[in-house]
Structure 1
Amino acid sequence: MTTALLVVAVGVIVLAGMWLIASDFSGTDRAKLQIEALKYGVGFFAAGGAVAALLLSVRRQRLAEQTHDLARNSQELAERNHQLARNAQFHTESDAAKRRVTDLYAKAVEQLGHSSTAVRLGGLYALERVAQENPEQRQTVVNVLCALLRMSAAGPRAALASHAMVGTSDVEANDGQYAAELDGESRQNLEIRLTAQQILVDHLRAFSGVSLDGMDLGAHLWQDVDLHLRGAVLVDFDFSYCSVRRATFSGATFIGETSFAGTKFADNALFTCADFRECTDFSSAVFSGEVDFREATFADFALFEEAAFETDVNLSRAKFSGRADFGRAEFGRWALFPGVTFTESAVFSRAKFGGDTNFNSADFMQDAWFVGTRFETDSRFHGTKFGAKATFEESIFVQSSQFYDVAFGGQLSFLMSHLFESVRFHNTMFGGRVVFGVTRANSITFSNCRVMLRSGQEDLWPSGWEVSAEGQVGALGKTKNPVNSTT
């Protein structure tokens, strides 16, 4: 506005000056100069008005922008205040929910120590609900259930086994000694244990994607859970087709039939010194981490058919009192069986060993079946004992194999086998019929080997080897005529 007034003032001064100059003239010139003075004066007045209008417009625009900014800032402030209010409400609700979960958890855990079985069962189901509705609490709840199962079992374990097999209502009908040992408190404790086991199984069994009457069973799956059951007593434990991350069953006792069929172990699975009292099923189980069965005992049939061991597996000094079946199992890396005892027959037919295999000092008391077995890398049988038949028919040895200080008490057969690398027998005793009708053999060597001579003996040795009689025990050596020899 000041600029407009300044332009008008300049116009007035110019008009006055020109008007005074025109007054010095006369006649026509004077009139012309006065007209020019008026033109300049009017022009300056018009310019001043234009400048004033422009400045007014600019001022209005600036005022409008300031008003808009003020409104926007007010709106942002209102939204920020609203968000703060929502955050405060959320945290308030979250804190209240956490307090509620904590209270429920604490109350449920407290119920587990109650003297009443009904209250303890209610505590278990309350914990299950807490874990189901709060995924972040699932591992904590699982840890509580595992701790419950790790607690010493009330009553003799034989009584527990009897109870599990015949059911609570039929205990009295079982053997008198077991029924006498299984008192009311033991029955109640067993019921608590079975319930805790079932809760774990119900939420770790992988039914993802399967629906029943419109209900997605996968929603009940607790994923990425670790089990810590070291030294636990588990009764009729059916963990088939479950999914667990890391599992620790070291020193655990499994009473009754046990099943891990189709179970997936995403991380290490530890069964060191585990005691399996009856039939055990690991068929089609998948072990993605390291597996440890060192010094585990299997009192009855142990089934590992089609199990997949993706990394190392260690069964050192394990004892199989019943039949052991590893048929079609796959071993991705090291397979360690040193010092293993197989009291009954052991089956590894169609199994695949992808890494080094070690059966050193293993004791096969009955038949050992390696029909169609594939050894991708080195295999070692040092100090191994085969008490009955040892059948390696149709097996494939891709790399070297060593049978050092081995005792074959029964028939040994390599019929139709493929030996791509060297196979060495050193200080080995052959006590039964021997058949080396191999389809392909690059190098088979025998050093300091002995053969138990028998009447009507019909052995088939590799080309270039024969047995020389030395009393009841013959020595195996090279023959002058390199043809298959029959003794």
Structure 2
Amino acid sequence: MIIPFRRRPKQDGRHTPNLWPVWLVAPGALLLVGLVAYGLYHGAELLLASESTGQGKKPVPVQDVIKTTVTVLTLIGAALAALYAYRKQLLDEGASHRADATQLTERYSKAAEQLGHEQAAVRLAGVYAMARLADDWPEQRQVCVDVLCAYLRMPYETDINEPGFRHGEREVRFTIIRIIRSHLQDPSDATTWCGRDLDFTGATFDGGSFNGSTFSGGKVSFGGSTFSGGLANFRGSTFSDGQVEFSPVSFSGSRIDFSGATFSGGDVLFRGSIFSGGQVNFIGSTFFDGRVSFLDATLSGGEVSLRGLRVGVAASIDWGPLSPVPVTQP
């Protein structure tokens, strides 16, 4: 059954206005304009007549009343036309935003699908597509970053003789690390990922470079990660504000380089980490204010180098089992 005076149903996902039918609105609008014109005509006639009364003036001609009424109606019409144009602009902008959002969503779905492909070349394309989407979609940038970090958290077999080994996977992972690093170089850049949460919990790293990166604000977690083989490079990086967790992390058979890094503000935690069979360098690093903790860390068969380390008076460092060499004040 059709109800004649019911508004049009709103279309889901379109954000369209809930409008009355045209056949109902048009006669109503004409009737309203007629009443307004009638009221304006008599109002103008009374106003002009009152101004001429008692001053020895002639009665106001009908033409003057009509001119005044038409002028007022013209001004009202102009105002309504401007309002209609503004409303139309809002609708056009809304349609444009919806189209953009649809396109970005489609790009996200396609990139995510590529990341799950069997062929490494297709996964690489998905990595670049997701990174580009993060640059173009500030509202969902954190989501895109989360997807790339989640890829690094997926099981990763480094031994070619094991069943789970996938050819080309190392290059895909190194590409993700390089892309993240490139977005952490300049905090003032419009597409920077500085201040974003980076979750590498439980990931396996057999190399990769974060050198020169700025980890500022947000939360960066390497908790439960394993650094095995290769060189993980944090040379010259800056850790400021926020919180960076390397607790607990297993540094086994790999080289981790924090040489020349600056730890300023926030917390950098190595609590419960295991240093075994590898080398971790803090050569020439600087610890200003903030907190660094090696509490409950285990040093077994590995080497932690602290030569040239500089510690500011406001820095709070819990060395745990490490035996710090003499350090200098910055």
Same fold (TM over 0.5): yes
1:263 deviation in Å? 2.4
Change in Cα spacing, 1:247 to 1:309, as seen in structure 2 (3 Å) is farther
Match of residue 257, structure 1, among 231, 235, 243: 231
Q: Tell me, yes or no, if structure 1 residue 335 matches structure 2 residue 317.
A: yes
Q: Tell me, yes or no, if structure 1 residue 347 matches structure 2 residue 321.
A: no
Provide runs of 4+ in structure 1 moved above 4 Å.
47-50, 62-68, 182-185
C-alpha distance in structure 2 between counterparts of 1:308 and 1:64, whole Å = 82
Per the alignment, residue 52 of structure 1 pairs with 57
Per the alignment, residue 184 of structure 2 pairs with 204
The structure having more radius of gyration, on CA atoms, is: 1
Q: Tell me, yes or no, if structure 1 residue 288 matches structure 2 residue 265.
A: yes
Q: Check conservation: 1:240, 1:259, Cα contact below 8 A.
A: yes
Q: What is the one-letter code of the residue matched to 2:317? A: A
CA-to-partner distance for each residue in 1:349-401, whole Å, 9 max, x for gaps? Answer: 1147xxxxxxxxxxxxxxxxxxxxxxxxxxxxxxxxxxxxxxxxxxxxxxxxx
C-alpha distance in structure 2 between counterparts of 1:229 and 1:149, whole Å = 7
Higher strand share: 1
Structure 2 residue runs of 5 or longer lacking an equivalent are 1-44
C-alpha distance in structure 2 between counterparts of 1:223 and 1:282, whole Å = 21
> Cα RMSD (Å) of the superposition?
3.2
Q: What secondary structure does 2:83 align onto?
A: helix
C-alpha distance in structure 2 between counterparts of 1:106 and 1:284, whole Å = 38
The within-5 A match list for 1:320-469 is 320=299, 321-325=302-306, 327-330=309-312, 332-338=314-320, 340-342=321-323, 346-351=324-329
Change in Cα spacing, 1:65 to 1:145, as seen in structure 2 (3 Å) is same
CA-to-partner distance for each residue in 1:244-285, whole Å, 9 max, x for gaps? Answer: 332111111223222222323431111101123314215332
The within-5 A match list for 1:25-424 is 50-53=55-58, 56=60, 60=64, 66-156=69-159, 181=161, 185-206=165-186, 218-244=189-215, 245=217, 246-255=219-228, 256-260=230-234, 261-276=236-251, 277-298=254-275, 299-303=278-282, 305-320=284-299, 321-325=302-306, 327-330=309-312, 332-338=314-320, 340-342=321-323, 346-351=324-329
Per the alignment, residue 464 of structure 1 pairs with none
Q: What secondary structure does 2:242 align onto?
A: coil
CA-to-partner distance for each residue in 1:209-247, whole Å, 9 max, x for gaps? Answer: xxxxxxxxx455334311011111123231122223321
Report how many residues are paired.
271
Structure 1 residue runs of 5 or longer lacking an equivalent are 6-46, 157-179, 209-217, 353-487
Q: Check conservation: 1:194, 1:235, Cα contact below 8 A.
A: no
1:140 deviation in Å? 0.8
Could you tell me the TM-score, scaled by structure 2's length? Answer: 0.71
C-alpha distance in structure 1 between counterparts of 2:68 and 2:259, whole Å = 76
> Percent identity among equivalent residues?
26
1:93 deviation in Å? 1.2
Q: Check conservation: 1:312, 1:332, Cα contact below 8 A.
A: no
Q: Check conservation: 2:292, 2:318, Cα contact below 8 A.
A: yes
Q: What is the one-letter code of the residue matched to 1:74? A: G
C-alpha distance in structure 1 between counterparts of 2:150 and 2:214, whole Å = 20
Change in Cα spacing, 1:148 to 1:348, as seen in structure 2 (3 Å) is farther
C-alpha distance in structure 2 between counterparts of 1:183 and 1:63, whole Å = 93
Deviates more, 1:85-94 or 1:243-252: 243-252
Per the alignment, residue 383 of structure 1 pairs with none
Q: What is the one-letter code of the residue matched to 1:307? A: T
1:103 deviation in Å? 0.9
Change in Cα spacing, 1:66 to 1:151, as seen in structure 2 (3 Å) is same
1:122 deviation in Å? 1.2
